[in-house]
Chain A
Amino acid sequence: MKTSLRIIGKAAFFAALLIGIIILANYPLLILEPFGFHLQDVSLEQVVTTVTSYIGNLLHGSLGTYKRRLDVWVLIETYTGSTLVMLSLSLLIAILFGGAFGYFLSKKQKPRTSTLKLMLAITLMSVPTLIVIVGVQQFFLMLKHAGLSHLPVAGFTTWRHRILPIFCAALLPGVYLARLFANASDRVYQTEYIRAAVSKGAGRARVFFVHVLKNVFAQVCESIQSILPLLMVNMLIAEYLFYCPGLLLVMVNNYGNPDVVVGVSIVIALIYTAYSLIFNWIGRRLNHHMGIQRKGLA
């Protein structure tokens, strides 16, 4: 009974979300109505008709059309692959970079924190992605002129075009993850079982890889989903500035076409949900036997 109610609740939430997206994509100015701004003259019947028509189309597998009556599915099929690759690689790099940088930032077994390390992390977190990307582009252009690098700084035709956007999109979420990783790591290093491992004769590397890493990852894992929105926003900026289009850029470029906005939003929401579920599942698996309360850090 409880499970059924939970499923019904979640289904209702997603349905409300979908209706919200449809209304916002078609009548964006309606969002200002509750604040007393009457900027769009739309009747309730019109809104209901639009929503029911969209849901009807969706149930028949259609996402509408764009430009010269082309199906939105074509857009989605074209860009979903590259978006998935970029998102997955950016996420992987953010996790690897976050882990390594987090280890550097953590106090390990030392009781005092390093102000310099903390300042470094905060400084990196406060640099806007836009500036990072422009800086990276300038730097690699300079290298290119000096004949030291042939990495393209814009475009989308080869996989080499994706390298810089992926790294730039991953940087900020990576620093954010590093802070989470460092905090979790500090907590784990203070536990009695770490001292017990040291008293067994375990060296630094063994303590870290066998005793700390698994515990830290289990704590950070469920928080990874909280960096997904940040990663997606960074990807959008990277797609735009590196001219390396994916679903996110397609959605922004077609914001005047409600069919594209709704269709792409649904796909992006599905991708986001899938990634969240994967990390949620990994976190649950890691904490499954422990009988300990999972502590999400976000």
Chain B
Amino acid sequence: MLRVHNLSVQFALPHKTVYAVNGIDLAVPEGKVTALIGESGCGKSVSALAAMGLLDGEESRVSWDRIVFDGKDVDDTHRPAYGKDISLIYQDPYSALNPRLKCGYQVMEPLLIHGICDRRAARKRALEVLGDVGFSDPGRVYNMYPSELSGGMKQRVLIASAIITRPKLLIADEPTTALDVTIQAQILDLIKRLQREHRLSMLLITHDMGIVADIADEIVIMYLGRVLERGAKESIYRNPGHPYTRGLLRCIPRKQNKDRALFTIKGHVEQLMSAPAGCVFAPRCELCRESCRQTHPALVSINEHHGVYCPLTEGGPHG
């Protein structure tokens, strides 16, 4: 559904230009869920917004070799209709809904924007979708303002607004991060159900490996604006190639390790301004060699659907 080749995003700071995203490739197969994983500030959301063309500020410069959406090249003459072909679920439902517009209007707005139907039909469809996302009384929610809803309800409204046009691609930017734990599970179940029912292609941005295990088909691991590992979920969970991925997987709390201290990856994420020249994970990597500090490693294939940007991976040149 979506293929992005060599996407870069630069931010011009007063004395320096930094790469928030540095030459990443992304792919979201049709009807599948690709999870973009990484720590806060590693460029996950920026990548998604840039690929959608929503990062057109004066201080950012977005470049790519090729973006293919739904089999067609994306360029200035052909762009997917945002809100119709591609929809986005925002991280924070508390700020992503306009406080002065009724929820119903915000749900049906994409239909009105893209002229898909008239206001009456849009209202009917909005009520259907509000029912779809789990509201027992859609008519009431339709006439409510965001401040009258809880965080979980707001996120349901945002999801309803995102799926009302039956988009070809849904980008979910950490859809459960701002919610409390009990609501997170409900929203995740809802997203999973809707993805299966509508066979949605989805790019899920998250830092939670637990969520990924539950919902994703493909995984892309990002760190400091670079992709470190990509592949099918099963292959990555079974045979993680990059030291960072192995560290992330060891960070997941497990029942059998309940008496042990939780594993943490040593060190801290470097600032984008002082990102290393070679492998971006090198300063924290216990296996790092001198060559890792010199140049960004090339892609090493573990199998047909699994690649790692690390020369120390088994099967790689130094492995």
Interface residues of A (CB under 8 A from B): 109-112, 191-193, 195-203, 206, 210-211, 214-215, 218, 286, 289-292
Contact = CB atoms under 8 A, between A and B. Distances in A.
Contact of A290 (B87, B145, B161): B145
Nearest to A218: B100
B98 A211 contact: yes
B151 to A, nearest CB: 13
B97 interface: yes
Interface residues on B, range: 20 to 34
A202 B109 contact: yes
A196 B110 contact: no
A261 to B, nearest CB: 44
B145 A196 contact: no
Contacts of B110: 200-201
Contacts of A193: 95-99
Contacts of A289: 100, 145, 147-148
B200 to A, nearest CB: 16
Contacts, number: 81
Contacts of A290: 99-100, 145, 147
B95 A192 contact: yes
A291 B158 CA distance: 19
B114 A201 contact: yes
Nearest to A286: B100
A198 B58 contact: no
Interface of B: 52, 54, 57-59, 81-84, 87-88, 90, 92, 95-101, 109-110, 113-114, 145, 147-148, 158, 161
Pick from B83, B84, B87 the residue with the most CB of A within 10 Å: B83
A215 B147 contact: no
Contact of A201 (B59, B82, B99): B82
Contacts of A199: 52, 54, 82-83, 87-88
Nearest to A214: B100
Contact of B96 (A192, A201, A292): A192
A201 B101 contact: no
B109 A200 contact: yes
A169 to B, nearest CB: 31
A196 B84 contact: no
Contacts of A197: 98, 109
Contacts of A203: 113
Contacts of B147: 289-292
A206 B98 contact: no
9 contacts: A195-B90, A195-B96, A196-B90, A196-B97, A196-B98, A199-B88, A201-B81, A218-B100, A289-B100
Pick from B54, B84, B109 the residue with the most CB of A within 10 Å: B109
Contacts of B82: 198-201
B94 to A, nearest CB: 9
Contact of B58 (A111, A201, A286, A291): A111
A219 to B, nearest CB: 10
Contacts of A206: 113
A111 B83 CA distance: 24
A289 B101 CA distance: 9
